[in-house]
């Protein structure tokens, strides 16, 4: 986390540092990124950087956290039924997926940061950050599941903790699908990403994942396992 000294900075300077760091991590993976690039673009001395952040990993984690927060705020605005009236668990889940695509189209730099993070070769760092972000994702899905149960859209007898963990796995599978589709692109530029996110075939695969989540694999209900 940034130091209190960073949070006490004037908004203009704080934003300038954040923009410089975002640009760096949009262009480079963590292992290729450079503090020197960030301080040069932000126009601050190297010594000042270490008054604000412990090291490169510290600022990287902060940027990933900011991207996640911006995405959740975007969801709340783009999918009003998430917290308001008209909530349906599965259609809202699809709307959130589509809103995520729209967020990526409207924020190409944040899309690039996210893609670099997903493809991060430093597996230990990626797993460390994912573990730190997990409670945020679990709270997001737990809220949806609880609301679905209250509205009679989700089986009230499910174990909420297990269902929340399962939704996290589902989300990871969704990311894996996205990465698999990216490998089919001739180039990895913003136009290619946006073309993928609006591709009808890709959206049909998303719908298939949601239908599988809703309907399960069994042709008929399985017998209840005795306690």
Measured over the CA atoms of residue 61, residue 67, residue 71 and residue 74, the dihedral's sign is positive
Q: What is the pLDDT of residues 51-90, one digit of tens each?
A: 999 999 999 999 999 998 898 889 888 998 888 788 999 9
Domains of the chain: 61-215 (1.10.357)
Q: What is the pTM of this model?
A: 0.78
For 1-51, the pLDDT digits (tens) are: 899 999 999 999 999 999 999 999 999 999 999 999 999 999 999 999 999
Alpha-carbon distance values, 137 to 87, 144, 164 (Å): 19, 11, 9
Instruction: Work out the average pLDDT over 80-108.
Output: 87
SS3 call for 42: helix
- How far apart, in whole angstroms, are the C-alpha atoms of residue 106 and residue 78? 13
Distance CA 53, CA 60 (A): 10
Burial (0-12, 13-18, 19+ Cβ within 10 Å), 85: exposed
pLDDT at 84: 79
């Amino acid at each position: 986390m940034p130091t209190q000294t960073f949070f006490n900075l004037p908004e203009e300077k704080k934003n300038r540092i954040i923009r410089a760091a975002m640009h760096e991590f949009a262009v480079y993976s963590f292992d290729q990124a450079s503090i020197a690039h960030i301080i040069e673009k932000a126009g601050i001395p190297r010594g000042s950087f270490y008054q604000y952040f412990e090291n490169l990993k510290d600022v990287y984690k902060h940027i990933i956290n900011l991207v996640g927060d911006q995405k959740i705020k975007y969801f709340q605005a783009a999918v009003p039924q998430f917290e308001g009236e008209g909530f349906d668990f599965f259609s809202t889940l699809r709307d959130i997926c589509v809103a995520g695509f729209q967020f990526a189209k409207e924020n190409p730099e944040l899309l690039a940061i996210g893609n670099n993070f997903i493809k991060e070769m430093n597996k230990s760092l990626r797993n460390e950050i994912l573990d730190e972000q997990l409670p945020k994702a679990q709270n997001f899905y737990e809220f949806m599941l609880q609301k679905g149960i209250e509205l009679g859209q989700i089986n009230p007898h499910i174990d909420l903790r297990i269902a929340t963990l399962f939704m996290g796995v589902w989300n990871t599978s969704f990311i894996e699908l996205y990465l698999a589709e990216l490998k089919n692109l001739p180039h990895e530029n913003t136009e290619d990403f946006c073309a993928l996110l609006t591709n009808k075939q890709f959206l049909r695969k998303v719908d298939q994942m949601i239908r599988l989540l809703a309907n399960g694999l069994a042709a008929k209900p399985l017998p209840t396992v005795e306690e």
